[in-house]
Every structure is written in C-alpha cells, then in structure tokens.
Structure 1
Amino acid sequence: MSSDPWGRVDEQGTVYVRTADGERVVGSWQAGSPEEALAYFERKYQGIEVEIGLLEKRVRTTDLAAKDAQTALEHLREQVTEAHAVGDLAALAKRLETLAGEIDSRREERKAARAKAQDETRSAKEALVAEAEQLAESTQWREAGDRLRALVDTWKGLPRLDRKSDDELWHRFSHARSVFSKHRKSHFAALDAEREQARLTKEQLVAEAEALSSSTEWGDTAASYRDLMARWKAAGRAQRDIEDELWARFRGAQDVFFQARSAVFSERDAEQVANQKLKEQLAAEAETILPITDLKAAKAALREINERWEAIGHVPRDARPKLDGRLNAVERAIREAEDSEWKRSNPEAKARAAGMVGLFQAKAEKLRADLDKARAAGNASRTAKLESELAGVEELLEQAHRSQEEFSG
C-alpha cells in the first residue's frame, strides 16, 4: 500500500483521496506501482487546478460576461466535487468560492453600469423630444426642418430603452415632427392659393391690356399701361410657366399699342433722336447692373429703369432693336437669376422631396420594428431578410435626404 498527504493506494489497487469528510474512492490502478497510480491521479488534480487558474485570469483581466463566467464556475465546481484526482480539493473549492464572489461583484457592477446608461439614454431622448416639440410650432421652415432631421440622426445613434418607454418617447417625437410637417404643408398650400389668385388677377390685367392695344389715345393709354404695369407688379407671381405665358401676352399687348403710336409719331424724328440718346444712356445704366450680385436690388433698379424707359417714348425704328436688345439682355439675366432662385425654392419640388423622405422613413421604421420582432423570436432567416431590406431602404432614405438638402442651400 502507498500513500501521500492527500491520497493512498491500498493492496487491491484502489485509489483514495482524503477530504474533510473522509476518504473517497477516485479510481483503481492495476498496471503499475502505487507511486505511479498516485502520480497519475495527482496530474488529474493539476489539470483541474490549471483550469481554475485560467478562469480566474479571464474573470480578473477580461470582459468575460458574468453569465458565461458563472457557467464555467459551475462546471469546475462539479469537477472538483466529483473529481477522480488526488490533491487538496478543499483548497480548489475555496478558490472557486472566492471567484464566485468576484463574479457576483462583477455582475452587480455591470448591472449598475447598464442602469446608469439607460438613465443617460432616457435623459438624452427626453431632451430630443422636448426640442422636437418646441420646433413643432416653428415657422422657420428650412432651419427647423434641418434641425429635426439632425435630431432624428441623433435619436438613431442612441441605444434603445425598454420597449414601453422607448415607444412612448418615440410617439411624442414622431408626433412633434408630424405637427411641424402639417404646419409647413399648410403654409405652402397658402402660397399656392396666393399664386392662384395672382393668376386670376393677371389674366384680368392681360384682358385689359389687350383691350387697350388698339387705342389711339396715346397719352391716356400710355398712362393706363403704366397703371396696369404697377398693378401687375403688385399682384405677385403665378406658377412659373403660367407667369411666363401671361407676361408674354401682357407685353405683346403693350407692344401692339406702342408700335402703333410709333408709326404715328414717325415724323417726329427729332424727338425720337433725342429719345434714342436718352435710351442709350438708360441702356448703359442698365448694363451696370450686371453682373447680378443682389437680385432684389437688381430687379428694383431695372424696374425703375423700365419705368423711365417707357416714359421716354419711342426712338427711330432702326435704332430700336439694338437698344431693346441691350435692355432685354439685362432683363433676361435677371429672369434667369430669378428662375434659378425659383427652382431652388420651388415648394412643390421641396414637398415631393420631403414626401419621399417621409415615405422611406416610415418604411425603415416598420422594418426596424419587424426586425426587432424577428430577432426576439430567434428567426434567423427572417432576420437576415429584414436586415437586407432595411439596408436597401436606408440607402434610398439617404438618397432622399440628399435630394431634399438640394432645396436647403
């Protein structure tokens, strides 16, 4: 029979380990000496000891999850309790108990950290909701719209709260955005109504201008045309294509009248030569408007020049095309600048862009909700499909945002 402080081998080859509760059989040995038997079962003890040391190191030096650490701990406890090994098993059990306390502490620390993170996220989202609700009543359509889009991006970057809290805050946030969108839509609808009223007014002005075009009351009719022009400018703008058509008819009616007057006044060459000199000066003055740096100021300057131009009267027939061409070039430059500004601020195009953003946002939100459900259900195939669909919709949403931003410059 052979023995050491932690175990022994009896004459029949049975191997025992000594514990606080007495001896326990851990195996038998028939193939060699008792010393070899003890050495074999001591190596098994050493193997368990190494595993415990590795778990201690992982718990103390890595971010091993408490759940995984607890599972590994229970496995080692079972090994120590039922170990077919010779050695100080009580010491190993004590090490495991110490490690269990460390795992519990780590679990509580992480629980506290998660709670703190949730509180911070809640505060951040409540602040976003409060700002969105304040912006909902803003009439600074571009600035508020840009800020609301930035708030959405910030929201997306925050972690989720518990479902009930997150859904309640998102509902308030989404409602605030909807209120703003509704107000903005109403505003632009009112603009459309104003443009429709401008169309009706200008159609009436065109009819009056065309009715005057055959008049031979040169002074009174010219004054009437100046009055019509003032009313035209005060009427506001119609839709761009309609505006251009009505303007062409309005100017055409004036041209008919003034051309007739010019024919009658053709004998007044001296006056027309003087008029020519004055208009050459005005054309030169108009050309100083270019290049346009301030559209409003340029329009005001050209409007004043046009009024003086019309008041001067006609010039010799052969001089008129060149003079008109010089002034028309300035008018054309201003119209092009005005059209460029119109295109940039076109409410219909802006509304369409905003509508596409809203459509894709709603689609993305639904896909995210479906994706959360699929993940919670552990449905891997549906999760993969929804992730792919969400990626596609988010790409379209980004394109829609870029399109919308083109109207915010």
Structure 2
Amino acid sequence: MSSDPWGRVDETGTVYVRTAEGEKEVGSWQAGSPDEALAYYERKYEGLVVEIGLLEKRVQTTDLAPKDALTAIEHLRVMVTEAHAVGDLAALGQRLDALVALVDSRREERKAAKAKQHDEARSAKEELVVEAEQLAESEQWRSAGERLRALVDTWKGLPRLDRKTDDELWHRFSHARSVFSKRRKAHFASLDAQREEARRTKEKLVVEAQSLSDSTDWGPTAARYRELMADWKAAGRAQREAEDDLWNRFRGAQDVFFAARSAVFAERDTEQRDNLERKEELVAEAEKLLPVTDLKSARAAFRSVNERWEAIGHVPRDARARIEGRMHAVERALQEVEDEQWRRSNPEVRARAAGLTGQLQAAVDKLRAQVEAARESGNTAKADKLQAELDGRQALLDSALKGMREFGG
C-alpha cells in the first residue's frame, strides 16, 4: 500500500483521495506500483489546477462577460466535484468560490459604470436638447445653423440610452432643429420677396434717371436726382447679382447729367468772370468822373459808360452787389451834383444849403461807422457795398462844401 497527504492506494489497487468529508474512491490501478498510481492521479489534479489558473487570468485580464465567466466556473466546479484526481480538491473549490466573488464584484462594477455612463450620456443629451431649443429661437442664421449641425455630430457620438428616454430626448432635439429650419426658411423667403420688391422699385428709378440724363433744366432736374437718390436708399438692397447692375445704370445716368451741367456752369463762370473784369474797368472809368467839375461833360461821359455797362451780361453772384454798388454811387453823386446846382440857382435852396451840408456830413459819418463795423465782423461784401456808397456821399459832401464856399463868396 502507498499514500501521500491527499491520497492512498490500498492493497487491492484502489485509489482514494482525502477530503474534509472523508476518503473518496477515485479509481483503481493494476498496471504498476502504487507510487505510479498516485503520480497518475496527481497529474490529473495538476490539470485541474492549470484549468482554474487559466480561467482566473481570463477573468482578471480580459472583458470576459460575467455570464460566460460563471458558466466556465460552474463547468470547472463540476469537473472538480467529479474529478478522478488526487490533491487538495477543497482548495480548488475555494479558488472557484473566490473567482465567483470576483466575477460578481466585476459585474457590479460594470453595472455601476454602465449606470454612470448612462447618467452622463443622458445629462449630455439633455444639455444638447436645451441648447438646441435655445438656438431654435435665434436669428443668427449662419452661426446658429452651424452650431446645430455640430450638436448633431456630438449627439451621434454619445451612447444610446434606454429606448423611451432616448426617443423622448431625440424628439425634442429634432423638433428644435425643425423649428429653426422653418424660421430660417421663412426669413430668407421674406428677404427674397423684399429684395425682389427692391429690384422692381430700383428698376423704375433707373428708368426715370435715364430719362432725365439729357435734361438742361439744371435746377429742378438736380433736385429730382436728389429725391431719386433718397428713394434709392429707402428701397433697400436688391439681389446681389441685380444690385450692382442697377446701381451702375442709375449712377451712369446721373453722371451724364451732372457732367453736362458742370460743363455748362464752367463755361458760364468763365463768361461771367470776363464780364466782371470788363465792368470793373467801366466802373473805374466812371469813378474818375468824381469829383464833378463839369456836370454836362460828366453826364455825357457817364451815359457812354452806362450804355457799355448795360451791354455786358451777368457777373458772378458774389461780386454783383459790390460792382453795382460802386456804379450806383457814381450815378447818385452825379445826380446830387445836378440837384445841388439846381438848388444853388434857387433862392430857397440857399437857405437850406447849410442844413443839407450838415445832413450829408452826418450821413458820411454814419456810413463810415457802418463800413468799419462790417469789416470788423468779417462781412467783406457788405463793407465793399457800403464803402462804394460812402465814396459817393463823400463826393457829394465835398461838392456841397464847395457850394457852401461859393454861397459864402
């Protein structure tokens, strides 16, 4: 008979394994020595040890499903229970029990991880839904549209939830996208309608602008072009492809008119500047008649100057008052000399000569003060006009004073 700590072979060749419940017959051996028999059945035990070790490694290092792991454990447990082997079978059972506990622990971990993943995915999808619903009311059509497309890509990358929850969230998400899409479509449809209306309005403005381009009624036509420009701005923008063409036609018509007007005005300005030079020469000639020494010849000379003056056309507006004021001053001076001579031949005038001289002196003083005030205020045109009148009054005063001296003589 032969034995070891976990088994023995009796004299009949029967092989036993020792367990906590007692000895258990596992086989018989007739072909050799008892030691060979125990070695044979111990090798079977080692085979079970290897099988259990491999399963432990799979459970610890791979994503073996808990269900598959438990099935493999139960299979090995049956093998251990029914094993014809010699060794510490109870230790193998304990290892299998520990493996079951590990699988259960892993299953709970996976369950918890899955629950956490589910909660995170739900939270993420709810955030996507809320953002999509906010974007649904946006009028930032381009940026909001791009963001909604990005949200769809993010949604696709998230895990699926339970069917009911996933379907409810997707319905809200999809509805928000649909609302935005309908609003954007309606907006651009309205915008297209507005642009088409603007195109029709501007087409009419172009037609009128072109019809006015050859007008020579400069003032009213220029005013009408300003009104057309205001109407153009108020009409809004047409479609991009039409807007540039309409504007080029509209602006081109205006350019034709204003270029023609500018040419005419330039020619007129040149003519008026020439007229001003000629009138300045004439008024200088007239002013040389003062002070009057021979009224008859002065009158004849002034008539000649005035006839040539009237034959000349307009001068620039800003010079008109000044040049005409100088001419009128000469005319008034001649008239006043003529009136003075008449008064000198009239006995009644002699009596008023002194009073007239005083009045003229007062008028000259007043005009001189007005000229100085106008120059100080920077009103050159007014100052020039008053100066011309002052020159005439001064000439008249000089004549009156001379007459007074004559009266006195």
Identify the TM-score tier after normalising by the shorter chain.
0.5 to 0.7
**In 1, Cα distance between the equivalents of 2:149 and 2:36?**
76
State the Cα deviation string for residues 1-53 of structure 1 (Å, max 9, x = none): 33334333345544333445555443443442110110121122123123334
Partner of 1:66: 66
Name structure 1 gaps, 5 residues minimum.
274-409
Deviates more, 1:101-110 or 1:56-65: 56-65
- Take 2:183 and 2:271, find their aligned partners in 1: how far apart are those partners? 58
In 2, the alpha carbon distance for the partners of 1:77 and 1:120 equals 39
The match for 2:216 is: 216
Tell me by how many angstroms 1:124 deviates: 1.9
Does residue 167 in structure 1 map to residue 167 in structure 2? yes
**CA offsets, 1:112-154, max 9 Å, x none?**
2212221222122112212211221122223433432343333
Aligned to 2:83: 83
Structure 2 residues not aligned, in runs of 5+ = 274-409
Distance 1:34 1:190, change over 3 A: same
Q: Alignment partner of 1:3: what SS?
A: strand
| Deviations 1:185-244, CA, capped at 9 Å, x for gaps | 211222111111111111111121122223221221122112212211221111122122
- Matched residue of 1:197: which SS? helix
Once the two structures are superposed, the pairs formed by residues 334-345 of structure 1 within 5 Å of their partners are none
For 1:339, the equivalent position in structure 2 comes to: none
Larger mean Cα displacement after TM superposition, 164-173 or 103-112: 103-112
SS in 2 for 1:216: coil
Partner of 1:386: none
Alignment of 1:96-115 (within 5 A): 96-115=96-115
Name the CA distance, whole Å, in 2 between partners of 1:88 and 1:265: 125
SS at match of 1:90: helix
Confirm whether residue 135 of structure 1 aligns to residue 143 of structure 2.
Answer: no
Counterpart secondary structure, 1:177: helix
The residue number in structure 2 matching 1:179 is: 179
Please give the residue correspondences for 1:136-285 in structure 2 after superposition, counting only pairs within 5 Å: 136-261=136-261, 264-265=264-265, 267-268=267-268, 270=270
CA distance in 2, matches of 1:109, 1:248: 74
Aligned AA for 1:152? V
Other-structure match for 2:43? 43
Shift in alpha-carbon separation, 1:77–1:272, aligned structure 2, 3 A:
farther
SS at the partner of 2:16?
A: strand
Bigger shift: residues 10-19 or 172-181: 10-19
Q: Which residues of 2 match residues 371-390 of structure 1 at below 5 A?
A: none
1:66-108 deviations in whole A, cap 9, x for unaligned? 2343233122212201212112212322332232223223212
* Residue-by-residue CA offset, 1:268-319 (whole Å, 9 max, x unaligned): 363899xxxxxxxxxxxxxxxxxxxxxxxxxxxxxxxxxxxxxxxxxxxxxx
Go from structure 1 to structure 2 and tell me whether the alpha carbon gap of 1:146 and 1:272 turns closer, same or farther (over 3 Å shift).
farther
Give the secondary-structure state (helix, strand or coil) at the position aligned to 2:3: strand
Q: In the aligned structure 2, how far is the partner of 1:209 from the partner of 1:87?
A: 113
Determine the C-alpha separation between the residues in 2 that align with 1:265 and 1:57.
105
2:221 and 2:241 mapped to 1: Cα distance? 28
Alpha-carbon separation, structure 2, partners of 1:211 and 1:108:
88
How far the C-alpha of 1:176 sits from its partner, in A, is: 0.5
TM-score (norm 2): 0.60
- Residue identity matched to 1:107: R
Question: 1:367 is matched with which residue?
Answer: none
Quote the Cα distance in structure 2 between the aligned partners of 1:109 and 1:252.
80
C-alpha displacement of 1:155: 2.1
Distance between the aligned counterparts of 1:109 and 1:99, measured in 2? 15
Q: Secondary structure at the match of 2:172?
A: helix
Q: TM-score, normalised by structure 1?
A: 0.60
Partner AA of 1:233 in structure 2:
K
**Percent identity between the aligned chains?**
79
- How many aligned residue pairs are there? 273
Q: Aligned to 2:196, what secondary structure does the other structure show? A: helix
**CA drift at 1:169:** 0.8
Question: How far 1:178 moved relative to its partner?
Answer: 1.4
- 1:103 alignment partner AA: V
Aligned to 1:116: 116
Structure of larger gyration radius = 2
Aligned residue for 2:345?
none
- Matches of 2:163 and 2:272 in 1, distance apart? 83
Q: In the alignment, residue 161 of structure 1 is paired with which amino acid?
A: L
